[in-house]
Structure 1
Amino acid sequence: MPGQDGRSAVVTGANGGIGYATVRALAAAGAEVLLTGRDAERVRAAAVRLTGEVPGARVRPEVLDLADLESVAGFARRLADAGHPVDLLVNNAGVMGVPERRTTEDGFELTFGVNHLGHYALTGRLLPLLLRAPAPRVVTVSAALSRSPIAELSDPQSTHKYRPMAAYAKSKLANVLFARELQRRADVVGAALTSVAVHPGSSLTGLQRYASRPVRTLARLTLERFVGQPVERAAWTPLYAATAPGVVPGGFYGPTGRFEERGAPGPVEPPLLTADSALARGLWELSEDLTGVRYPWPVPRPAR
C-alpha cells in the first residue's frame, strides 16, 4: 500500500470485521481515520484497541447510525464544522440475513435502508468535504451476491415479499449501481472524484450475527479454512480500491483467486444489471426522494 500520510479517511461499520481491519491498515500507513459505528461504547473500545495495536495511530471514534438519517446528518455537520477535507470514504457497514422484515428509524426496510440508503445519504452529505480534497475516493463495499438472480430491484424495500438473503442481494446490487452512477455524475460536472465498488470475497465477519448458532459454528469451522479468508485479507480489496494508483473510476474489484472467494484484489466482472443506465438513474432518483438528500454538485465548467 502506498503511504497515506496527509490523507483523511472515514470508514463506516469500523468497530469490527473488515471495517476494523481497513481502519487499522490505513492508520498504520499514516492516514488520519474516523472509526465509525452505531454503538458509542463499541466504537470507543475499538479505537482504544487500535491505538494499542498501532502506536502513533491517528484515529478518532465517531458515532454514526446509518439506520437513522438524522444521525447521518449530525455526523456530517460535525465534520463540516471541523472544516477538514475528506480524502477517502469507505462505505463498508452493512447488515445481512435479518430474519424478519424490520425498518429503520425513518421507516425504510432495514437491509436496504442501512446498506444502500444510509450510504447514499452519507456520501451526499459529505460530498462538499470530499470535493475539497485533491483526489477524493469513495469505495462502496458490495458482495458477490450482487450478481445473483435474486438481486433485482422491482421491489427494493421488499414491501410485497420479504426474504432475508434476497433483501441483502438487492441492497448489494444497489451498492454497485450507486457507485457507478456516482462516478457518472461526477464526470458530468468534471469533479475529480473516483468512485468504485468492491466485493471482499468470503470471510467470517459480524454480518453472520443473524444466522442460527449451528450455522455460525459451521462457518467458523469451514469458512476461513477451506473457502474464504480471514478478515485481514478480506480487507485487501477495499484497501486496494482506496489506495492503489491504477484503480479505474467506476470499476468493480474483488479477490482474483478461485471463485473470487479469496486471493489478491483486482478487477472482476460487475453484475450484468449495472450496465443498465436507466436502472441506475431510477435508483438514484428513488434514493433522492426517500432520503431528501440531493447532491450539491458544483456547476459544470463551460467548454472552451
Structure 2
Amino acid sequence: MESPFERQEHRRVMVTGTGGLGLEAAKTLAELGATIIIAGRDQAKGEAALNEIVSHAPSAHADFELVDLASLASIRAMVQRQLDDGEPLDVLINNAGIMSPPQRRLTVDGFEAQFGTNHLGHFALTLGLLPLLRKSAAARVVHVTSIAHKFGQLDFADLQNERNYKAGIAYCQSKLAVALFARELQRRAEASEWSLQSMAAHPGFATTNLFAAEQGARSFTTLFSTRVLAPLLGHSAQQGSQPIVFAAASPAASGGKLYGPTGFMEMKGLPGECTFARTAQDDETSARLWTESERLVGMSL
C-alpha cells in the first residue's frame, strides 16, 4: 500500500517528549528520512529514545535536546542553543504533556502544571523557535491536543485553577488552550504571509503511560483505562501517533485544521480531518489567550 506521507529527507523535525506518541511519531518520521531532534527533560530517557529510533530506522539521524517544558529558563536555554546553531527547523511537534495529577502542582514559574506544561511551555518554545521555523521553505507546527479539548472551558479569571482545582477539568482546559493556540498561530502566519502552517492533531484513545505517570500504575483509573476501555475503544500508541505524522508529513494536511482518528467517536481508526470543538473556533478567545500567554511567559512576536 502506498504511504500517505511524503518523504522527509533534508527536513529537520523536533518532537517534544521522549516516549509514547512522540517517540512513535519520531520513529515513523525517521523512517521517512527526516533528521530528528527529540526534546525532553530526562537525559537517560532521551538516549533510550535515540537508540529506539536508530533501531527502527538504522540510517536515521537523530539527536537529543535537554528541555524542561515546566521551566521557562530551561526553554530559553534550549532555544538559544538552537538559535546559535542556526539550522532551519522544518517541523515542530508540540507533543509532550502531563495528564490529571490528582493534586494541584505548580511549574517552576508558578503556573498550574497542566496549563503551564501542555500550553504555556509549548507556547514559549514555539515563539522562541519561530526564527528557525521561518527559515524553512515550508514549515509546519503540529500541536498535539486531545478529544478532551471538546469538554474544555477557559476561565480567564482563573487560568491557574487556584479557586477549585479538579484534575480532569484542568486537563481539558489545557488541551483546549492547545487547540486555540494552533488556530491562532495559523491566523497570524497567514496575516504575516509566513511559509508556515500550524495545525492540531489528537491521538484518539491511545494506550500510553499518561495515566500511570500521574495516577500510578496500580490506580483504578490506570487499570480501568488500560485493561477495560483501551481494548474496547482504543488503539496502540503507534496507531495513535499516525494523526500526528499525518499533520507533519501528509501533502493532504493544511494549516488551521485538526487531524485525528476517523473511526467511532474519533477514538481509533485511520487518520484524517476532524472537527474542532466550537469553543476552539472562537477567534476572540484565541486572540485573548495569545495575549495573555505572551504576558505570562514574558515573550512576544
Same-fold call, TM > 0.5? Answer: yes
Cα deviation per residue 1:150-185 (whole Å; 9 max; x = unaligned)? 433342210211000111000000001000000111
Match of 1:158 in 2: 161
Match of 2:245 in 1: 239
CA-CA distance at 1:225 after TM superposition: 2.0
Match of 2:148 in 1: 145
For residues 66 and 79 of structure 1, the distance between their equivalents in structure 2, rounded to whole angstroms, comes to 16
- Partner secondary structure for residue 98 of structure 2: coil
1:87 aligns with 2:83: no
Selected match of 2:122 from 116, 119, 122: 119
CA-CA distance at 1:263 after TM superposition: 0.5
What is the identity, as a one-letter code, of the residue corresponding to 2:24?
A
For residues 7 and 129 of structure 2, the distance between their equivalents in structure 1, rounded to whole angstroms, comes to 24
The alignment covers a number of residue pairs equal to 293
Match of 2:63 in 1: 60
CA-CA distance at 1:216 after TM superposition: 2.0
1:218 aligns with 2:224: yes
Residues 203 and 223, structure 1, Cα contact 8 Å, conserved in 2? no
Match of 2:6 in 1: 2
5+ residue gaps, structure 1? 296-304
1:265 aligns with 2:256: no
Please say which of residues 83-92 and 40-49 is displaced more in the overlay.
40-49
Residues 223 and 229, structure 1, Cα contact 8 Å, conserved in 2? no
For residues 153 and 260 of structure 1, the distance between their equivalents in structure 2, rounded to whole angstroms, comes to 26
For residues 6 and 141 of structure 2, the distance between their equivalents in structure 1, rounded to whole angstroms, comes to 17
For residues 101 and 216 of structure 1, the distance between their equivalents in structure 2, rounded to whole angstroms, comes to 19
1:291 aligns with 2:294: no
Residues 145 and 151, structure 1, Cα contact 8 Å, conserved in 2? no
5+ residue gaps, structure 2? none
Selected match of 2:234 from 228, 238, 253: 228
CA-CA distance at 1:37 after TM superposition: 1.0
What is the identity, as a one-letter code, of the residue corresponding to 2:233?
V
For residues 277 and 144 of structure 1, the distance between their equivalents in structure 2, rounded to whole angstroms, comes to 20
Cα deviation per residue 1:246-284 (whole Å; 9 max; x = unaligned)? 212111111100111000111111011122211111100
CA-CA distance at 1:49 after TM superposition: 2.5
For residues 274 and 200 of structure 1, the distance between their equivalents in structure 2, rounded to whole angstroms, comes to 17
For residues 114 and 205 of structure 2, the distance between their equivalents in structure 1, rounded to whole angstroms, comes to 19
What RMSD in Å do the two structures reach over aligned CA positions? 1.2
Residues 204 and 223, structure 1, Cα contact 8 Å, conserved in 2? no
- Partner secondary structure for residue 181 of structure 1: helix
Give identity over the alignment, percent: 39
Residues 253 and 266, structure 1, Cα contact 8 Å, conserved in 2? yes
For residues 177 and 2 of structure 1, the distance between their equivalents in structure 2, rounded to whole angstroms, comes to 27
Match of 2:19 in 1: 16
Selected match of 2:285 from 279, 282, 291: 279
- Partner secondary structure for residue 156 of structure 1: coil
For residues 52 and 182 of structure 2, the distance between their equivalents in structure 1, rounded to whole angstroms, comes to 31
What is the identity, as a one-letter code, of the residue corresponding to 1:3?
R
Match of 1:108 in 2: 111
Equivalent runs, 1:243-254 vs 2, <5 Å: 243-254=249-260
Cα deviation per residue 1:69-121 (whole Å; 9 max; x = unaligned)? 11111111111111100000000011001111111111111000000000000
- Partner secondary structure for residue 188 of structure 2: helix
What is the identity, as a one-letter code, of the residue corresponding to 1:281?
A
- Partner secondary structure for residue 235 of structure 2: coil
